[in-house]
């Protein structure tokens, strides 16, 4: 049986798919936190170039991909669709599993699908420098790669704690010609303010965003804009080449998925694969679409997990009640999307519309899935990608229990070759020995008991 | 003697936002000195983090950390831009 389905280069999608006009109940516009009005071009123009702002609010279903973007895409696109034959055998369940190999790109993930587009539109708009923040460094390296094709300067604010842990991602960015600095820096007001009170600050993603945005909007000498690697509509839009290719490839093998799966951090790779299938679902086709996200809590093994999508305003999830074998049950928490605060609005909307189903997986089971995958399919996955693989395993188990054949399509969003330290922790058993010993907990809590409660 | 404020600080977990390991110390202070809004979810497995943080935070701090809707990414970007745009040309 053939494993790979290769789409010829001339079949690369020529347009991105914008799901906004197809949403069953529309998309609630985001509000400007200052004015509480939907942000207008004046609010956005200092941050993003106009073509990307237009895409952000576009109601056009199809948006042309410019030829220079296609030209860079052709370095690694179309990506292979692969039948995970060995993983299927290992799972011994009535499932066919196909994966889209987005780790095939030079930076090793799906992120360049939008990085290249964003670099191009900024360049066309006369911008000379791009700024962004990065956590693990996947996005920073993708943008550095993209900027090198369009002769743009690239400055990446990498959260210090990651900067110190991940020298190779930083070196990739530098190899592609970008500047990568540890945030907080003393080059911005936001950074200086933190450094004044805490010179050893490990930084945070929020602060790195502030530094990157500040640099973009205050640059007087070099026209500079800010870029984001996930969450926003135009980013998800650019990723839809993945799902469009997958659809054609599934057609080539005469199949169609019963279940489409992706891991969801900000939501971009998940959207990229699933939105073209979500369009079919909106139009009446039966397909289950699962967004796999992280929770560190072992919901299945250690007690009930209550999870409800409605809160008072009907907008944010009510989270979370765990019982974990301690005699402690935390109160239900209404937090403005404790889980979803970083999730793309388009995906949150499709969850509310019942088109997408979110499922959560904890650390351990995702690494177990990653190891099973590496031993069968060969590829070592990014830790994020392992969440999607954990979902594949869960769906396969369900298929077995139901005695029902299922075809699964999953986005293999990136390789984990620069995340081997995380695998080392797992292999060394550090992740399994994770829960603090009961004695230790009791000792610490006992010590708190005697203290007056702060007012 | 056990310092109550830092009792769990050296434990480590994977931060889904950063994509790497972080000590509890980081999660306890990352939001301008207050805990990350995800701290309860990420740490529940390791120790009774909710009970612990209830003890070391004031009511107001707890509310700010866990019961205030956090800004969406776009809101965060817009408010950062607002703070600085007056200084810039862009
Ligand atoms: C390989 C990989 N997959 C998935 C993600 C999650 O991001 P998103 O949900 O935007 O695809 C990341 C984020 O850095 C990543 O590096």
Per-residue pLDDT of chain A (455 residues; tens, 9 = 90+): 789 999 999 999 999 999 999 999 999 888 888 888 889 888 999 999 999 999 999 999 999 999 999 999 999 999 999 999 999 999 999 999 999 999 999 999 999 999 999 999 999 999 999 999 999 899 999 999 999 999 999 999 999 999 999 899 999 999 999 999 999 999 999 999 999 999 999 999 999 999 999 999 999 899 999 999 999 999 999 999 999 999 999 999 999 999 999 999 999 999 999 999 999 999 999 999 999 988 754 333 333 333 322 222 222 232 322 223 333 333 333 322 334 457 899 998 998 899 999 888 888 899 999 999 999 999 999 999 999 999 999 999 999 999 999 999 999 999 999 999 999 988 988 775 456 667 777 776 676 666 556 55
Position B37 pLDDT exceeds 80: yes
pTM of the model: 0.90
A78 preceded by a cis bond (ω within 30 of 0) = yes
CA torsion through residues A332, A337, A340, A342, sign: negative
| Distance, CA of A393 to CA of A3 (rounded, Å) | 19
User: Are residues A421 and A168 in contact, defined by beta-carbon separation less than 8 angstroms?
Assistant: no
With contacts defined as CB-CB under 8 Å, which chain B residues touch A447? Answer: 2, 4, 7
- Mutate-to-test residue for ligand 1 from A101, A109, A158, highest number of ligand atoms within 8 A of CB: A109
User: Choosing among B13, B31, B62, B78, which should be mutated to test the A contact, i.e. which has the most A CBs within 10 A?
Assistant: B78
Beta-strand relationship, B12-15 and B20-23: antiparallel
Q: Which member of B44, B59, B74 has the closest CB to residue A324?
A: B44
Consecutive H or E run containing B24:
helix B24-29
DSSP state of A437: P
Interface residue A210 vs chain B (CB under 8 A):
yes
Interface residue A268 vs chain B (CB under 8 A):
no
Residue of B nearest to A340 (CA): B72
How many Cα atoms are found within 13 Å in the side-chain-facing hemisphere of A263?
A: 27
Tell me which residue has tokens 């073209």: A276
* Count of Cβ atoms closer than 10 Å to residue A327 Cβ: 8
| Distance, CA of A211 to CA of A205 (rounded, Å) | 10
Q: Give the residue among A143, A107, A222, A131 at the shortest CA–CA distance from A181.
A: A131
Closest ligand 1 atom, residue A102 Cα: 1
The stretches of A225-312 forming alpha helices (DSSP H) are: 233-239, 241-252, 268-282
Tell me if A335 and B37 make a contact (CB, 8 A cut-off): yes
Phi, psi of A225 (to 5 degrees): -135, 170
Chain A / chain B CB contacts < 8 angstroms? 228
- C-alpha of residue A257 to centroid of ligand 1, in Å: 22
A320 preceded by a cis bond (ω within 30 of 0) = yes
With contacts defined as CB-CB under 8 Å, which chain B residues touch A358? Answer: none
Atom 16, ligand 1: residue with shortest CA distance: A138
- Mutate-to-test residue for ligand 1 from A108, A239, A268, highest number of ligand atoms within 8 A of CB: A268
Burial class (CB in 10 A: 0-12, 13-18, 19+), A61: middle
| Distance, CA of B28 to CA of B48 (rounded, Å) | 14
User: Choosing among B3, B42, B45, which should be mutated to test the A contact, i.e. which has the most A CBs within 10 A?
Assistant: B45
At A417 the three-state DSSP class reads coil
């Amino acid at each position: 049986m053939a494993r790979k389905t290769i789409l010829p280069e001339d079949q690369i999608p020529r347009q991105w798919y914008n799901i906004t006009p197809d949403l069953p109940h529309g998309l609630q516009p985001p509000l400007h936190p200052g004015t509480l009005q939907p942000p207008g071009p004046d609010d956005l123009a200092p941050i993003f170039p106009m073509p990307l702002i237009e895409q952000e609010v576009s109601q056009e279903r199809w948006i042309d991909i410019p030829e220079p973007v296609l030209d860079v895409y052709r370095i690694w696109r179309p990506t292979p669709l692969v039948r995970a034959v060995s993983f299927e055998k290992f799972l011994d369940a009535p499932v066919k599993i196909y994966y889209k190999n987005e780790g095939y790109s030079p930076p090793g993930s799906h992120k360049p699908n939008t990085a290249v587009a964003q670099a191009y539109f900024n360049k066309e708009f006369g911008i000379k420098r791009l700024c962004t923040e990065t956590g693990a460094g996947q996005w920073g390296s993708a943008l550095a790669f993209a900027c090198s094709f369009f002769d743009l300067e690239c400055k990446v604010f990498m959260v210090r704690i990651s900067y110190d842990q991940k020298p190779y991602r930083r070196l990739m960015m530098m190899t592609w010609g970008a500047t990568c600095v540890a945030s907080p820096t003393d080059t911005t007001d936001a950074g200086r303010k933190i450094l004044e009170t805490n010179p050893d600050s490990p930084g945070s993603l929020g602060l790195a965003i502030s530094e990157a945005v500040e640099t973009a909007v205050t640059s007087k000498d070099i026209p500079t804009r800010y870029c984001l690697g996930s969450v926003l509509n135009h980013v998800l839009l650019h990723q839809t080449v993945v799902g469009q290719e997958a659809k054609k490839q599934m057609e080539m093998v005469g199949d169609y998925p019963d279940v489409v799966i992706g891991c969801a951090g900000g939501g971009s790779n998940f959207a990229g694969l699933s939105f073209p299938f979500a369009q079919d679902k909106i139009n009446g086709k039966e397909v289950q679409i699962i967004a796999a996200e992280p929770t560190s809590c072992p919901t299945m093994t250690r007690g009930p997990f209550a999870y409800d999508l409605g809160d008072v305003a009907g907008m944010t999830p009510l989270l979370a009640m765990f019982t974990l074998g301690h005699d402690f049950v935390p109160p239900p928490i209404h937090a403005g999307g404790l889980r979803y605060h970083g999730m793309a609005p388009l995906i949150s909307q499709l969850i509310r519309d019942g088109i997408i189903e979110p499922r959560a997986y904890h650390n351990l089971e995702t690494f177990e899935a990653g190891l099973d995958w590496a031993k069968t399919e060969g590829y070592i996955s990014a830790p994020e990608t392992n969440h999607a693989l954990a979902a594949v395993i869960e769906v396969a188990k369900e298929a077995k229990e139901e005695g029902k054949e299922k075809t699964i399509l999953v986005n293999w969003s990136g390789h984990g070759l620069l995340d081997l330290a995380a695998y080392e922790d797992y292999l060394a058993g550090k992740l399994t020995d994770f829960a603090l010993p009961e004695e230790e907990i009791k000792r610490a809590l006992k010590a708190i008991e005697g203290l007056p409660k702060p007012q | 003697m056990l310092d109550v404020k830092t009792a769990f600080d050296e434990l480590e977990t994977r931060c889904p936002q950063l994509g790497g390991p972080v000590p509890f110390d980081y999660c306890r202070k990352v939001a301008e000195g207050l805990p990350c809004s995800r701290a309860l979810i990420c740490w529940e497995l390791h120790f009774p983090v909710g009970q612990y943080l209830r003890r070391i935070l004031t009511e107001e701090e707890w509310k700010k950390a866990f019961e205030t809707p956090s800004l969406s990414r776009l809101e965060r970007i817009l408010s950062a831009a607002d703070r600085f745009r007056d200084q810039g040309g862009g």
